[in-house]
Every structure is written in structure tokens, then in C-alpha cells.
């Protein structure tokens, strides 16, 4: 079958869209991919929605900016799908719709992704699988990461030494550890990805991110700040574990006295160090590390990861023939196909749920 995946990431940059041919177990082909950026006004609305979601205790509630933001997310994804299908002449069997995470508190059995799957199905005329995290969280799992089962399928024929670790650096960073043979995947969020760096750059310069890591390249890491940040108990926890995008936003205030370059360098070092902190909790250290997401374009961060994860070989998703930008959108296409076949998407080793679970809700255009 052909599936379309949609991902609006924790970096709030835009909508990634990708086509995948798959039966939910094997990947036959990775098709075209696209991107619909958010305008700055749209990002501002989403940032307000994140702030208004902090006190939510009902995942169906939409107070403050959340209702308007949900309308925006749904409309933007509908626009992205219609343009993408017209451009490539596609008619997929299903759409996998992640939505925009505005709150993730698995310890409270609460995760909230805005975006109306039923409305998206009507907008596109295509069945939509959505709300992939809720069942896992309700069953006591972390609800994240969801992509390890896709990483396992994607890496099945990859010629790289094992163990292999796939590192996705969006707003939050997460890893999938893939051993040899029958080893089950292990996965977790490791800590901040681009979120703190992006928020720091926007606050200081008005730019959305540190292009290529150029700002960080000219700075020096503040060891005192880094040491204090790494003392947070989260980083000593073994997998599975997951994070809200803004879990460490409070730490940014401690960077006020640093220069722009030193602050960017220190935050890049923080992301790299928190990834390295997970390695002692894995069955064996990875020999190969493949980095995807926006963080793969930050050359300073990539250098720091290479230093922290040595002697593992660290390379970008593009270097192995994958898409650094579209990987998560492709994953949600794959998860939608698994939803259709009632195949599990979360596992004890990836989210901590007691047993392997299916996930997602189906919306059809006619309903």
C-alpha cells in the first residue's frame, strides 16, 4: 500500500510530508517528500498554544490559543497534503497524522497532540490514522518515541556495524538502539534536541535557529553551566523515558550572562552530552550512529557528538541514503500502515508499556 506521513515537529518549523510504499513490515520504496514551512505568525500562535497547554489536565480541552492553533495545524496539514498529492500525482491508501504535541506528561498519563484527524480526512478525502500516542500513555507507557519500529525496518539491510543507534534531533532528541539478530529495539528521549538552541537564538537574535551551527562554532562552552544542567535527575534514568519539549526551558535563564556564541556553543554541548549519557544504559555501546532531524544540519553539534560518542562512527542520515528531514514523516506513514494491519507500534523496550501495543485512531472522509 502507499501511505503518506505528516509530522509537525517539536521545533515548530513546519510540516514535513513523505510517501512510503509499505505493508507495515517491510519498506518497498521511499517516495517523494515535501515541506510546508510555518510563517512566523503561525509559529507565534503555536508557541502561545504551548504556553497555554502547561496547565491542561483534560486532553480534550482547548483553552486559550489552543483552539485557534488546532485549526491552524489542521488547515496547514490539509494544504500540505493537497499540494503534495497534486504535485506528484499520488492517491495514497492512508495518511498518518502526528499533529503538534503541545503537552507530554506521561507520568500523569497525559499527552496532547493538536490537529483534528476527522477534519483532515474530510479536507483530503483520504482515511487518516492519528492520535498514535494516547493508548500507550493510558496503559502506563511513555508514549514516545514512536519511530523505533520504523528505524528497525529501515535499517534492516543497512551495511553498518551493529549495534546501530539512530539519533533523531528535533526539538527533543531521541534514540533507537538496534542490536544484532533477535535483540529488541531500545529507545528513549535523551534530552533537549534543538528546542533550547532555537529558543535561545530567537530570544537573542530573532532568527529561528543557529544556521549550520555557525554561531556555536565561534563560542566556548561554559563548563559550570553545563555541569549544573547535567545534574538534573532525568539524565541518570535508564530507558524508557520521554520528555515534553519545554521540560528544560527553565535552564535557559542561566545563560543570560553569556555571549551569543558562548550560549549557542554551551547548548549544543548540552545536547551532545545528554545523548552520550544514555550510552552506559544500553546493552552495548553503539558502533554506528546515524543522526537525523534538524540537528543533523548543525555542524558544531555533529562534531561534538563525534567527540562524545567515539569510537562510534557518527554520520548523518543523508550519508547513508536516508532523509534527515523527512525521516519522522516517513515513520508516520509506516505507522499508519501498521495501524491498518493492527500491528503493534510500541513495545516494552521502547516506551515501557507492559506489552506490545497497537495505536492510533482512524478517521474516514465520509464520517
Share of the chain above pLDDT 70, in %: 98
The mean pLDDT value for 279-295 works out to 96
Q: 52: pLDDT confidence band, cut at 50, 70 and 90?
A: very high
Q: For 338-356, how does the pLDDT look when each residue is reduced to its tens digit (9 = 90+)? A: 999 999 999 999 999 999 9
| Per-residue pLDDT at 10 exceeds 70 | no
For residue 244, the model assigns a pLDDT of: 87
Tell me: cis bond preceding 233? Omega within 30 of 0 counts.
no
Residues with Cβ within 8 Å of residue 320, at least 6 apart in sequence: 158, 160, 290
Q: What pLDDT score does 181 carry?
A: 73
Which among 242, 234, 209, 301 is positioned nearest to 11, based on CA atoms? 209
Tell whether the model's pLDDT for residue 93 goes beyond 80.
Answer: yes
| Per-residue pLDDT reduced to its tens digit, 189-221 | 999 999 999 999 999 999 989 999 999 999 999
Q: What is the pLDDT of residue 252?
A: 82
What average pLDDT does the structure give for the chain? 95
Query: Exposure of 362 by Cβ count < 10 A (0-12 exposed, 13-18 middle, 19+ buried)?
Result: middle
The pLDDT score that the predictor gives to residue 9 is 66
H helices of 240-282, in order, are 260-276
Residue 214: its H or E element: helix 214-217
pLDDT digits (tens, 9 = 90+) for 256-266: 999 999 999 99
Residue 254 has pLDDT above 90, yes or no: no
- The structural domains of the chain, ordered by start, are 2-145+326-363 (3.30.420.40), 155-320 (3.30.420.40)
- Candidate ranges 75-84, 237-246, 251-260; pick with highest mean pLDDT: 75-84
The position carrying cell 506528484 is 88
Answer yes or no: are the C-beta atoms of 265 and 216 closer than 8 Å: yes
Q: Residue 366 — pLDDT band, cuts 50, 70, 90? A: confident
Rounded CA separation 259/201 (Å) = 11
Q: Facing residues of 177 across strands?
A: 165, 186
Short-list 327, 328, 302, CA closest to 315: 302
183 has pLDDT over 80: no
C-alpha–C-alpha distance, residues 300 and 319, integer Å: 17
- The yes-or-no verdict on residue 11 having pLDDT over 70 is no
The answer to which of 60-74, 167-181, 239-253, 300-314 has the lowest mean pLDDT is 239-253
Pairwise CA distance, residues 324 & 27, whole Å:
17
Task: Find the range with the poorest average confidence among 20-29, 43-52, 70-79, 179-188.
Answer: 179-188
CB of 346 closer than 8 Å to CB of 353: yes
Query: Over 90: is that where the pLDDT of 240 sits?
Result: yes
CA-based R_g, the chain, Å: 19
Amino acid at each position: 500500500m502507499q501511505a503518506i506521513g505528516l509530522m509537525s515537529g517539536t521545533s515548530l518549523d513546519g510540516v514535513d510530508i513523505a510517501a512510503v510504499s509499505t505493508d507495515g513490515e517491510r519498506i518497498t520504496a521511499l517516495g517523494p517528500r515535501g515541506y510546508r514551512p510555518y510563517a512566523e505568525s503561525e509559529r507565534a500562535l503555536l508557541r502561545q498554544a504551548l504556553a497555554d497547554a502547561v496547565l491542561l489536565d483534560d486532553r480534550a480541552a482547548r483553552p486559550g490559543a489552543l483552539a485557534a492553533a488546532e485549526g491552524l495545524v489542521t488547515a496547514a496539514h490539509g494544504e500540505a497534503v493537497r499540494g503534495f498529492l497534486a504535485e506528484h500525482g499520488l492517491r495514497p491508501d492512508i495518511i498518518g497524522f502526528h499533529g503538534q504535541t503541545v503537552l507530554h506528561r506521561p507520568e500523569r498519563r497525559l499527552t496532547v497532540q493538536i490537529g483534528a484527524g476527522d477534519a483532515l480526512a474530510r479536507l483530503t478525502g483520504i482515511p487518516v490514522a492519528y492520535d498514535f500516542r494516547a493508548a500507550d500513555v493510558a496503559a502506563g507507557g511513555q508514549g514516545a518515541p514512536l519511530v523505533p519500529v520504523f528505524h528497525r525496518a529501515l535499517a534492516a539491510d543497512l551495511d553498518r556495524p551493529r549495534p546501530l543507534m539512530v539519533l533523531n534531533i528535533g526539538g527533543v532528541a531521541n534514540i533507537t538502539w538496534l542490536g544484532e539478530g533477535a535483540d529488541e529495539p531500545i529507545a528513549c528521549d535523551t534530552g533537549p534536541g534543538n528546542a533550547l538552541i532555537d529558543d535561545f537564538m530567537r530570544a537573542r537574535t530573532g532568527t529561528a535557529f543557529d544556521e549550520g551551527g555557525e554561531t556555536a562554532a565561534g563560542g566556548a562552552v561554559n563548563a559550570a553551566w553545563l555541569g549544573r544542567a547535567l545534574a538534573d535527575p532525568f539524565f541518570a534514568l535508564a530507558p524508557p523515558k520521554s520528555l515534553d519539549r519545554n521540560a528544560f526551558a527553565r535552564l535557559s535563564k542561566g545563560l543570560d550572562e553569556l555571549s551569543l556564541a558562548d550560549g549557542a556553543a554551551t547548548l549544543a554541548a548540552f545536547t551532545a552530552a545528554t545523548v552520550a549519557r544514555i550510552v552506559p544504559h544500553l546493552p552495548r555501546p553503539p558502533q554506528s550512529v546515524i543522526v537525523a532531524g534538524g540537528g543533523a544540519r548543525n555542524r558544531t553539534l555533529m562534531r561534538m557528538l563525534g567527540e562524545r560518542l567515539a569510537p562510534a562512527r557518527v554520520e548523518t542520515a543523508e550519508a547513508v541514503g536516508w532523509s534527515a528531514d523527512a525521516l519522522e514523516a516517513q515513520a508516520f506513514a509506516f505507522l499508519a500502515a501498521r495501524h491498518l494491519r493492527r500491528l503493534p507500534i510500541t513495545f516494552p523496550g521502547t516506551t515501557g508499556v507492559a506489552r506490545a501495543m497497537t495505536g492510533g485512531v482512524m478517521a474516514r472522509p465520509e464520517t
